Amino acid sequence: MKLYIYDHCPFCVKARMIFGLKNLPVELIVMLNDDEATPKKLVGQKVAPILQKDDGSAMPESLDIVRFIDKSDREPLLNGKINPAIGDWLRSVNGYVNKLLLPRIAEAAFAEFATPEARDYFRQKKEAAIGDFAELKSHAPGLIKKIGDDLRQLDKLIVKPNA
């Protein structure tokens, strides 16, 4: 199997983790961020992650990939209850955390930014969505304090150390 990813993408991390948890091999393919053709050819739209199965079919959506791989050996690992409070926490944090993360991701040495065009593609798309990166970076101290406070709240929601 092949897993098409971006290193910076949290959904891709989620899809990658199930392979590690189950000790299953997978070929990782890091797409350039401006490569629209590959994901469109595989699933009809520019998304990541994408799992290309051994039969050649392809599946997008991180949670669908996780469920498919987790059940593939008929010994699922992920069978605990979902804590709705954590979902609420994630929705709350998602409202601002990208303003802290994306300007820094745009400068990082990720494989998906191996060409100047790929890095520019990312920057232009994300700045159009959330605002000028330089301006956002000027608000970093407040955002760092906010995520610190929110992480302390998340700690209270995790009921098992291995959750």
Residue 149: the pLDDT is 97
Residue 108: the pLDDT is 97
Residue 158: the pLDDT is 87
Render pLDDT for 60-116 as a digit per residue (tens, 0 to 9). Answer: 999 999 999 999 999 898 887 888 999 999 999 998 999 999 999 999 999 999 999
Element counts in the chain: helices (H) and strands (E): 8, 4
Residue 163: the pLDDT is 59
State yes or no: pLDDT of 161 exceeds 70.
Answer: no
Residue 57: the pLDDT is 97
Beta strands in the chain (DSSP E): 2-5, 27-30, 50-52, 58-60
For residue 58, what are the contacts with CB-CB under 8 A and spacing of at least 6?
42, 43, 50, 51, 52
Residue 147: the pLDDT is 97
pLDDT interval class at 160 (50, 70, 90): confident
For residue 96, what are the contacts with CB-CB under 8 A and spacing of at least 6?
143, 146
Residue 13: the pLDDT is 97
Render pLDDT for 106-148 as a digit per residue (tens, 0 to 9). Answer: 999 999 999 999 999 999 999 999 999 999 999 999 999 999 9
CA distance 55 to 27: 15
Judge whether 112 and 31 are in contact, CB under 8 Å.
yes
Mean pLDDT over 40-52 rounds to: 98
Domain spanning 84-157 has what CATH number? 1.20.1050.10
DSSP 112: G
Two tokens at 114? 């191996």
Q: Please, where in the chain does CATH 1.20.1050.10 lie?
A: 84-157
Q: Please, where in the chain does CATH 3.40.30.10 lie?
A: 2-71
Pick among 3.40.50.300, 3.40.1010.10, 1.10.4080.10, 3.40.30.10: CATH of 2-71: 3.40.30.10
